[in-house]
Amino acid sequence: MNKKELIFFLTRNNILKTKSIIQAFEKIDRKDFILKKYTNEVYNDYPLDIGFNQTISQPSTVAFMLELLSPKKGDKILDVGSGSGWTTTLLGYIVGGEGKVCGVELIPDLVLFGRANLEKYDFKNVKIYQATKDLGLKDKGPFDKILVSASARDVPEELVNQLKVGGTMVIPIQDSIFRIFKKSRKQIEKEKIPGFIFVPLIY
């Protein structure tokens, strides 16, 4: 499968729906975020190893999570578990120059890998940070949207606190993906979509 065929597959199956997200998949090439040994597999719809027991998620899962997140031009977004930098860069394209994307990654070698991949695109509004013992990037928040690409045990209070009131977080929890809507400082609304497997979120 080539890139055009992958995007056709995702749109035909109603996974990719939003114009800005489709355009991001067209402009931000998954090929730029993988290990070279997987070049012949880059557009297949499955995860690929990026080292350190981590993966770049399968395209259909990334598309599904981005559609749930509903990023918009001008949004300020936190991407937790940025890995190879693919989702961070996709989000950077979607939010445009008026927005901002902060990726955060725990594994130092993947921070360097993600930054090197991000540099293939001239985005001044996107940066990947080394994670600390504190989950997220509270000194950079609050955020309109938060995307988490590793599975948590429960809804992390630290991340909810970094979300603006009215903001949305998409996060895997155990074997499901949750969309969290922050209705007020103390109230959240949860939507559960089961049937997914992710590497664990370490915190």
Tell me how far apart the alpha carbons of residues 39 and 29 are, in angstroms, rounded to a whole number.
Answer: 12
Tell me how far apart the alpha carbons of residues 34 and 113 are, in angstroms, rounded to a whole number.
Answer: 9
Task: Tell me the C-alpha to C-alpha distance, in Å, between residue 125 and each of 23, 29, 40, 62, 192.
Answer: 18, 18, 31, 21, 31
Tell me how far apart the alpha carbons of residues 188 and 203 are, in angstroms, rounded to a whole number.
Answer: 21
First to last CA, the chain: 37
Contact at 8 Å (CB) between 107 and 55?
Answer: no
Structure tokens at 180: 């969290």
> DSSP alpha helices (H): ranges in the chain?
3-12, 19-27, 59-69, 86-95, 108-118, 157-161
Question: Rounded to the nearest 10 degrees, what angle do helices 19-27 and 86-95 cross at?
Answer: 130
SS3 53: coil
DSSP letter, residue 130:
E
Q: Which residues are catalytic?
A: 57
